Amino acid sequence: MKCIILPEKLDYDGSQISSLWAYSSFGVQEDSVIVFRGACDVKIEHMIDLEDRRANESIWSEDMLSFIIEHFDSTDMKLIYSRQRLFTAIVREYLEELGINTSRAGDDLFFKGKKLTVSIASTSAISQKIHFGINVSHEVYGNLKEAGIEGEENIVRLMQGIGEAYVSEFGDIEKDLRKSRPLGVA
């Protein structure tokens, strides 16, 4: 699994959750986490959450960290939603280590009672995808600025730390898979 931090700003519009986006944009053909910073404005045609779509909700932020995760080992919806929850827990744990206390409800994190993150997971015929966004600044919702994380260097460190923590978790899982014998085998 590979983690790539994009140095340039890139706005998230929902199209990045399509299959093979990392390959078509950056030549990455393996499981990956692509991390970038920019505005977020998901158009209705790219909205995957049918509840949000039916309610004509808007998903936007003037400044957001976006994590685009793609796995090629399965197209199972339950598995990608489990991975999404694992990623959410990793983000919460990472923020906790920085002294930022959040609460979690499903795949959402809250800071001081205000929603800090957005996330969606889905599958295609060839892969599983997750978008996880963290507000850097926002007039209405929780954000990293309010939590005391400011400055480009601190934001980049956060992007790298979270992305690498997820990659490391999967490295550990792969090691565990190769050391455990199946049940019923002596």
Amino acid at 167: V
Residue 108 resides in a domain? yes
Q: Which CATH number does the domain housing residue 49 bear?
A: 3.30.930.10
Residues 6+ apart with CB under 8 A from 133: 12, 40, 61, 64, 65, 66, 67, 117, 118, 119
Residue 182 resides in a domain? no
Summarize pLDDT for 65-110 with one digit per residue, the tens: 999 999 999 999 999 999 999 999 999 999 999 999 999 999 999 9
Total count of domains within the chain? 1
Tell me how far apart the alpha carbons of residues 34 and 131 are, in angstroms, rounded to a whole number.
Answer: 10
Summarize pLDDT for 52-69 with one digit per residue, the tens: 555 566 688 999 999 999
Q: Is the pTM of this model over 0.85?
A: yes
Can you give the pLDDT at residue 46?
A: 60
Q: Which two tokens stand for residue 124?
A: 């295609």
Can you give the pLDDT at residue 122?
A: 95
- Percent of the chain past pLDDT 70, that is, above it, reads 92
Task: Give the mean pLDDT of the chain.
Answer: 93
Residues 6+ apart with CB under 8 A from 51: 57
Residue 183 resides in a domain? no
Residue 186 resides in a domain? no
Q: Domain range spanning residue 173?
A: 2-177
Kindly give the interhelix angle for 77-97 and 152-177, rounded to the nearest 10 degrees.
130
What are the angstrom distances between the C-alpha of 119 and each of 59, 73, 111, 153, 186?
A: 10, 21, 15, 24, 43
